[in-house]
Structure 1
Amino acid sequence: MNTTQPLNGMYRVPEWPRLTATVTHDGTGALTINGVSRACAAESVAALRTGMIARAVVIGTQLRRPIRLDVSEEGRTHALAVRPEGYVQLIGADGTIPAPDGLSIDEGRCRVCRRLQPVTSTACVQCGVDEPLRVEVAPPAEPNVLASPADSPVTRPRPVELDETNDVEQTRISRRAAAPLSPMLHLAFNTQRSVDVGSRIVVGRNPEPVDGREAVTVITPGRMLSRTHAAIDVDDAGCIVVTDLDSANGIELQSTPPQGLIPGEPTVILDGATLLLGDVYCTVTRT
């Protein structure tokens, strides 16, 4: 079924696919789609909610109809309908919603450049990063979660996976499922294309490979990035650790409120956190 059928001017929201979201006061939570759970994190509760809604919009766009999203927060659960157009409505006790007359589309800030944009954005209107409102910490490789329970994997071809619409990203996930790999990092910048690197790197305008780390050169429009600005490592516990290598213009973690890193002091950051390195925004994600 590609559209929701009207019922006395109302629309009944299907129960499938099953999306549930858990939101906690510290901006972390989980998004579960047909039993497959993903950890989520954002700079604030509002940003977390918006990112989860943006994911539901992606699914609704694929199915061309409203999607049900049950959100649990502070002991209460709200049944929401998320339309492909970005409108969010409360679902009535009878499972229906009215037309979205007079509603506005939810908005959030890009995880890289902080530009405000609607939840329907598939790429940032300013920096071009894919899924600008994404809050999933590390989406796992998994079977297609849009498949109905009645679908047979023998008789039906596998559709595109929800989390990965990029062919390169799908290839990386398939390879990781086949054999364990060393931790890798994905760096998304507002000044250049994203890159995939190893678990021990340094970034800067023209960095030196400190202690054997991989050197990643970054475009800095205002030349505010130091020659060797920062070290970014994945430690033995799998945490992302950032160290300001005595840079001239420092590092600011884009948290709420923003937090300046102390030069020379290793700091653990959340997977998917954004850093301001001089005049460059960089989002760091484990892959």
Structure 2
Amino acid sequence: MTVNGAVRACAAESVDALRTGLIARAVSYAVQLRRPVRLDVTEAARGYQLAVRPEGYVQLIDAEGIIPAPDGLSIDEGRCRHCRRLQPVTSTTCIQCQIDEPLQVEVPPHGGPIDAPPIPVDATEDLPADLDMVVHLAEMSPVLASVPAAVSTTVPAPELDVDVEATRVRRTATPVLHLAFTTQRSVTAPGRAVIGREPIAKADEHAVTVASPGRQLSRTHAAVEVDRDARIIVTDLNAPNGVELLTTPRRWLTPGQPTVVPIGAKLMMGDVECVVTLA
């Protein structure tokens, strides 16, 4: 893998695990850039374009260069390089053994073990708009020679060249929210949305009525908005069941206090889970 001219050898116990690790690395860059990262893939004689979202979704880009909404998609998962716990490509710390970058596939310098401390990625790094990340999957035997025998199974792989570059999210003057719920279909909302069973919206708000099988969602439960800097802000509107941010560890939002949450944040509102992204 070559990132902006810096070459890094990669290895994993299988081609699938290697690809999952590379997706995880692309996700880490997408999070820093706060927009999807595009992968131009050539495999054998076939070429196609993929987009990796900060939330971990991997999608085909259509002929017009548009990334469709991620409705119904699942996030790829892989096993921790240390404890083998299954977890999503968005994980920055293993949920079981707490090792950093659990899906890392970059081989440490000087042929160190694959579960050595990860190659640091500066979260404050100012990534350029023309981020160049090139991955080449070829005969894996020479690389795997430096990996412990327990995970050094040689897997012949087809040649795969991946060129990853940052792409700008197509935006209107005001970014648009995409809200994915566990109890109904996803919706999009411009500016500010109020969520509930029967929400009461002001003139500048968009009312989003959500099914709540257990009626644990309040009539007007929470407000979600996005500012011109594409920051997502969530406010618990003093709902009895509150709003819980499903991070590690989980935390409850302070009622009435606007809170900035990351793109792709999962919110638990009563008996409804909502994933908040940008359309």
TM-score (norm 2): 0.49
Higher RCO, 1 vs 2 (CA within 8 Å, ≥6 residues apart): 2
